[in-house]
C-alpha cells in the first residue's frame, strides 16, 4: 500500500524555517529535506526526529525513495 508523504514548511516572522515530514518511515525523511537544506544554506540549527524516523520502512517506500532520487 502506498502511503502519502507530506512535508509541512513553516517560516516564522523572525525568518526561522521549520520542516515537518509525515508518512516517511525511517531515515528516508532526511532525503526529502536534504536538497531544501542545501538551497537554504545548509545550516540546520536543530533536528528533532519523530517516531516515524525510528520505524522500519516497508518495501514500497524503499522503492519510492529510489525513484525520487536526490529529492
CA distance 28 to 70: 11
Query: What is the value of pTM for the model shown?
Result: 0.61
Q: Are 55 and 62 in contact (CB under 8 A)?
A: no
CA distance 16 to 67: 30
In a domain, 35, yes or no: yes
In a domain, 12, yes or no: yes
pLDDT at 67: 35
CA distance 17 to 33: 12
In a domain, 59, yes or no: yes
pLDDT at 22: 86
**Structural domain that includes position 33:** 6-68
pLDDT bin (cut points 50, 70, 90) of residue 69 is very low
In a domain, 1, yes or no: no
CA distance 67 to 46: 28
The 10s digit of each residue's pLDDT in 7-65 is: 888 888 988 888 888 888 888 888 888 888 888 777 888 888 888 888 887 654 443 44
pLDDT at 59: 57
In a domain, 26, yes or no: yes
Amino acid at each position: 500500500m502506498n502511503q502519502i508523504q507530506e512535508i509541512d514548511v513553516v517560516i516564522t516572522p523572525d525568518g526561522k524555517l521549520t520542516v515537518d515530514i509525515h508518512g516517511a518511515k525511517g531515515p528516508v525523511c532526511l532525503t526529502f529535506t536534504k536538497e531544501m537544506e542545501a538551497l537554504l544554506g545548509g545550516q540546520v540549527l536543530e533536528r528533532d526526529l519523530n517516531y516515524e524516523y525510528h520505524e522500519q520502512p516497508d518495501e514500497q517506500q524503499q522503492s519510492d525513495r529510489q525513484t525520487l532520487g536526490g529529492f
